[in-house]
Structure formats: structure tokens, C-alpha cells
Amino acid sequence: MSHREPHPEGERLQKILARVGFGSRRVCEEIIAEGRVTVDGVVAELGRRVDVETQVVAVDGAPVGVRPDLVYYLLNKPAGVITTADDPQGRPTVVDVVPDEPRVFSVGRLDGETEGLLLMTNDGQLAYHLTHPSFGVEKEYLALVEGEPSRALLRTLRDGVDLEDGPTARARATAVEPNLLRITIHEGRNRQVRRMCDAIGHPVVRLVRTRIGPITDPRLAPGEWRELTRDEVRSLEVASASEKPATGSEPP
Ligand code: URA
């Protein structure tokens, strides 16, 4: 690994960590002294300077968003709002709901008719980790379905169903009510939950995403958004660095 010179004009590491919520400057100095912090993969020394634009800081192996310009929003997407930056048909989009500046994009997507939690950010690194299937971050949905799926069919959902783009990985599926399923997947294929329910003969009537990794918020009303807390951002960074699918490929 090549040796990089510290950036003389960069911010000091303990100051950066304190700014992004790891605790007081003193606490952050201790975290660094314990050897838990790396910069570009190399264990960092106390007092080193970091270029937050280009260098990757990680704590306990999980990258930390350290750029001061990064924003993270949690949106409860209503049905009929489209997950795109610009809809040629002029329908309302998720980008219309959150502040214009800085420009953000959605982390993954929800179908037009699907409701529920959607992350929006300008942090490309976190978005990549959260959406890349090999990191396997869990997404939980409530699906109101036609009819009442049998226990055997719920087991089929859990074990994997054959879709045209291949079998689904193991999932969690339980009946909250006879026609209301809680389904947790860690893949992110197009219309996956709808297609899984179609495949067992119980099409979705209404679909709501209720959790993304560790993030949930039952009090956020449809159409509302809020900023993630520092702790929530960190919990996503940790989840996307450590969660892995039960089966499937390793991260690149
Ligand atoms: N599964 C679906 O079918 N639709 C979504 O929007 C998300 C997951």
C-alpha cells in the first residue's frame, strides 16, 4: 500500500470525528489512540490531518461520512409520488418533496404506488453501500395482499420463489393478519415484493416499506420528511459495512 503524505491543510481527525458525532474531542482522541480509526485503510495517528473531500475515514472498519456538505433525509413516500429526479409525464417526484439545495438523490427506489420509507442523500458512498446487493441491508415491508396465504405459501416466500430473473434469496415472511404480511428482504430487485406475492398467487393490494436496515419511524406521516440524526447515519454506515446476505456473493 502506498504511503500518503498527510494533507497539511486538512482538518484534524479528532475534530472531524467530534463534528460528526462520535463524542467530545477528548473521547475522539481516545478512539484514535485505541487504533480504531483508519484513513484510507491505514490506522491513523492522533493529530493527523485529513482531506475530507478525498480521503476515506473509517471507525471500527465502517466508513464514516465526514464531508460537512453531506445531508441525509428520511422521507415517507406517499403513493403516486415517483422515485426519479425528473418525470417526463410531470408527476410529482420525491425530489420535489425535499429541499432543492444541496441536490440529493434517492437511495434505491420505490415503485410509484409503493409507500413508505425512502432515504435521500448526496452521500454517494453510503448510497452505494446501501443499495449494492452484496452488502445485503434489510428492507422490511408490510404487504396487504389478496386472499389469505397459507402457512405453506409463507414458507415458500421465506425459502425463495422463482422469478423470471432468478430465485429470490431467503427472506422473512410472517402474517400480521391473514391478509397482511410482514416481508423482509435484503435484495433490491425491481418490484421484488410485488412479484414474490404474485408468484404465490396473492397479489399485493397495498405495499408500505417500514424499515431500511436499522432505520424506522412509525410517526413520520406520508409526505413528510426529516433529517436523519447523527446516530442514525452512523447506524446505516455500520449496517451497510457489516450486514451480509445469508447466501450470495461477498462484497467487492
Ligand atoms: N418491492 C416492490 O415490489 N416494490 C417496491 O417499491 C419495493 C419493493
For residue 112, give the CATH number of its domain. 3.30.70.580
pLDDT for 3 equals 47
Residues 207 and 182 grouped into a single domain: yes
Domain hosting residue 47, numbered range: 11-64
* Euclidean distance between CA atoms 161 and 233, whole angstroms: 33
Which is the closest atom of ligand 1 to the Cα of 191? 3
Q: What is the pTM of this model?
A: 0.85
Q: Would you call 72 exposed, middle or buried from its count of C-beta atoms within 10 A (0-12, 13-18, 19+)?
A: buried
**For ligand 1, mutation pick of 157, 161, 192 (most atoms within 8 Å of CB):** 192
* Euclidean distance between CA atoms 25 and 29, whole angstroms: 6
* Euclidean distance between CA atoms 221 and 99, whole angstroms: 17
User: How many structural domains does the chain have?
Assistant: 3
pLDDT for 136 equals 80
Residues 119 and 222 grouped into a single domain: yes
Residues 184 and 160 grouped into a single domain: yes
pLDDT for 133 equals 73
Look at ligand 1, atom 6, and give the residue with the nearest C-alpha.
110
State the distance from the centre of ligand 1 to the C-alpha of 164, rounded, in angstroms. Answer: 16
pLDDT for 42 equals 96
Q: Answer yes or no: are the C-beta atoms of 169 and 158 closer than 8 Å.
A: no
For residue 1, tell me if it sits in a domain: no
For residue 41, give the CATH number of its domain. 3.10.290.10
Residues with CB under 6 A from ligand 1: 110-111, 114, 191-194, 207
pLDDT by 10-residue block (mean), the chain, 252 residues: 55 92 93 96 93 92 88 97 90 94 94 97 90 85 98 98 96 98 94 98 98 97 96 90 50 33
For residue 6, tell me if it sits in a domain: no
